[in-house]
Every structure is written in structure tokens, then in C-alpha cells.
Amino acid sequence: MAIHERSLTSAKWSLLSSIKIIGIGVLQLSLLAQILQANELNLLAIAVVGLLAVDALADRGFSNSLIRYRMLSINDLSTLYWGNVLTGVLICAFLFLGSDVLSRIFNQPELAVMLEMVSVVFIIIPQGQQYRAILQREKQYSCIAFTEMSSVIAGLAVTLFTVLLTPSVLCAIWGYLAMASIRMLMYCYYGRSWFQPEYRFNFKSFSQIRARNV
């Protein structure tokens, strides 16, 4: 009975947090659409699509591996963790260096600055993503829901604050960076009880673990 009640509580937390996150996202976009000039709305649309893509790409399948395979050793988990972080750094460098080229392709000069800012997310997200997977594996859904909801609220607060200072599309990205940072820190805080990465990494082992578990 206790397990059943705990599952219901976790489901309620997840549902409520999802509803609130969607509501906050709609509110944020509505406010930005009212404040921004007409010529910036296209950039806002590109930014929103890009940020959604970043969230999807940043995980790159590691979470699913951790959730499916419970018997990974501390060595394997550490290798996956640092491999994930290193991959994020490489993607960040690639996106940062290619920002000018992409801005010329889309004929949007402001896009270069946006891409340079967004590239930092690939360093931030991987540091907490593995902890999220572990929390999900351990059925800590309330912690996950609270983290997601808190980080979205923090992101909205930063977006609104920056809008008051200098209204621009970059406000949405500042908010997203704040959200990603808060989310990463909270996942690290909750997840440290189950896993603390050791300072070890081997590229061959990383490739083998990923090939075995993806």
C-alpha cells in the first residue's frame, strides 16, 4: 500500500509540474511577443525551436542507458559521466566556432550571438543529466518534478528581469541559461546520494559502454 501511495504522489507531482511548466512557458512567450518588436519575432521563433532542440540533443541517450541497466559499476558510471561532459564541451566549441557561418546561412546577424550563448548550455546540461537519470531510476519523481518546476520559475524570473533592462530576444536565452544552471545544480544536489563520479576516464571504455548500453 505504501508503494502504491508513493507512486500516486509521484504521479501527481509530475502531472502538476508538467502543467505548471507548460503554463509558465506559454506566459513567457506571450510576454516576449508583446514586448519585442515585429522584426525580432522571427528570431524569437528560431530561438525557441533551437532551445527545444538543445534540450533534446544534450542528453544523447545516456539517460536511457542508465535507466535500463541498473548494474553499471562506479567505474562505468564515472566513465559515462566524464564522457558526457567531454562530448558537451566539444559540441559547445563546434557550435561557438560555427556561429558566424550559421548566421550568414540564415541571413540573421544577431543569430551569431544567440548561438554563442546557447552553446554554453552543452557544458551545463551534461553535468546534471546523469543525476536526473539516476533519480528517475530510483523513482525519485517528486525530486525531479520539484527541480523541473523550480528551474522553470527561476528561468522566467531571469527572463522578465532582463526584459526590464534591455528588451531583446537574448532575454529568452538568458532565462534558458538560468533555468539550465539551476536545474543542473539541483540534480547534482539530489543525485549525489547515489553517485559521485571518480576522476577517471578512458575513451575506449567509454565507447564500449555506450555501444553496449544504447
- Give pLDDT, residue 185: 96
Quick check: 113 pLDDT over 90?
Answer: no
- Give pLDDT, residue 99: 84
Residue 138 DSSP label? T
Q: Which of 56-60, 165-169, 184-188 has the highest mean pLDDT?
A: 184-188
**pLDDT > 70 in the chain, percent:** 64
Q: Which ranges of the chain would DSSP assign to H, the alpha helix? A: 2-35, 41-59, 62-68, 74-97, 99-105, 111-119, 121-124, 126-137, 141-165, 170-191, 203-213
Residue spans per domain, the chain: 37-202
Quick check: 80 pLDDT over 50?
Answer: yes
- The pLDDT-based confidence of 67 (bands split at 50, 70, 90) is low
For 8-58, the pLDDT digits (tens) are 555 555 555 555 555 555 666 666 666 655 556 566 666 666 666 666 666
Q: pTM of the full predicted structure?
A: 0.79
Residue 36 DSSP label? S
Distance of CA 141 to the CA centre of its chain: 17
- Give pLDDT, residue 29: 61
